[in-house]
Amino acid sequence: MTTRSASIDYLTAEATRGRRLFVVLLNNQAHPATSDVSVDLSKLSLDEPTVVGKVSYRDARGRTHALFQDMASWSIPLDPFGFALLQIELTRAP
């Protein structure tokens, strides 16, 4: 996973059944930032071919935003010293 920004820290977690990824993004700056997040599924230890399904993020105010799933990366805006929780659902490849 990459964020393409040195001022954005992140933590990742995978659901126990491997069908959902979580990424916590943290802006360590005193001004707003945008994190361009990309995930390389080949780096995950999945038992079967998998593609990205539903993608969304929750901002620091608790609002959920849907994102386009057919993209290779997603732009997530972050408030000063803010955070966001990115949720990536995984599905079996056709």
Q: Is residue 3 part of a domain?
A: no
Residue where the block lists tokens 């659901």: 15
**What does the pLDDT profile of the chain (94 residues) look like in tens digits?**
778 788 899 999 988 776 889 999 999 999 999 998 888 877 777 777 778 889 999 999 999 999 987 777 899 999 999 999 999 988 888 7
Q: Is residue 2 part of a domain?
A: no
The partner residues of 77 in beta bridges, in order of sequence, read: 34
Here the CATH number for the domain that contains residue 33 is 2.60.40.1180
pLDDT at 47: 73
Report how many domains make up the chain. 1
Q: What residue numbers bound the domain in which 56 lies?
A: 8-92
pLDDT at 49: 76
Q: Is residue 1 part of a domain?
A: no
pLDDT at 18: 66
Q: Is residue 77 part of a domain?
A: yes
pTM: 0.84
